[in-house]
Amino acid sequence: MQPGRYTELFFLDEATALAAGHRPCALCRWEDYNRFVSFWHDLHEGAADADAIDARLHGERVMPGSRAQRRHEAPFDELPDGAFVLDAGEPNLVLRDRLLRWTPSGYISPSPRPSSSSAVVITPPSLVALLRARWEPSVPLLHPSAISS
């Protein structure tokens, strides 16, 4: 990684990147970044530049005073497609009426999406709001294995 430059991160798909608390790169994905900022500005008060967005995302994904992942709770039936939750200690993608277990090579093991319980959500709340607003990037939101599962 280059100090003072962008972070060289690559993810399985956009939903995985959002679950990790990352936004589109302003250098290599300029069009998606500008659309993202526009969505962000409509959904959240305050500054909508890269530094302000990154600071908010960092606060939503990392526990203060540690490097531990911050998690949030929400009712399963309120989560949009593309959000990530923990199920039996494993990360799962929420997709329609199913949960799909995430692996580095794709999604596996579809299971029914619970309808009446609370979920432990990995995706930061401000990015869950973005997914709820129907964010559709130019890169695939979901890996092809999510559609075929």
Q: Of the candidates 73, 72, 75, which has an alpha carbon nearest to the alpha carbon of residue 117? A: 75
134 vs 75: CA distance, rounded Å: 19
Name which residue leads in pLDDT, 35 or 7.
35
Separation in Å, CA 121 to CA 8, 18, 20? 25, 12, 11
Q: pTM of whole model > 0.75?
A: yes
pLDDT at 94 (0 to 100): 96
pLDDT tens for each residue of 56-115: 999 999 998 888 999 999 999 999 999 999 999 999 999 999 999 999 999 999 999 998
pLDDT score of 1 more than 70: no
Separation in Å, CA 38 to CA 4, 79, 128? 25, 22, 16
Structural domain harbouring 126:
14-148
pLDDT score of 37 more than 70: yes
Q: Of the candidates 125, 138, 99, which has an alpha carbon nearest to the alpha carbon of residue 19? A: 125
Q: Does 32 reside within a domain?
A: yes
Distant-in-sequence, close-in-space partners of 130: CB < 8 Å, separation ≥ 6: 18, 36, 39, 40, 43
Q: Does 9 reside within a domain?
A: no
What are the beta bridge partners of residue 90?
A: 87
Q: Please count the structural domains in the chain.
A: 1
Q: What percent of the chain has pLDDT over 90?
A: 64
Q: Does 62 reside within a domain?
A: yes
Least confident among 6-20, 28-42, 64-78, 124-138: 6-20
Q: Does 25 reside within a domain?
A: yes
Q: Does 6 reside within a domain?
A: no
Name which residue leads in pLDDT, 3 or 11.
11
Q: Does 3 reside within a domain?
A: no
Give me the mean pLDDT over the 28-40 stretch.
91
32 vs 50: CA distance, rounded Å: 13
pLDDT at 26 (0 to 100): 86
Residue 28's pLDDT band, with cuts at 50, 70 and 90, is confident
What are the beta bridge partners of residue 101?
A: 92, 108
Burial (CB count <10 Å: 0-12, 13-18, 19+), residue 89: exposed
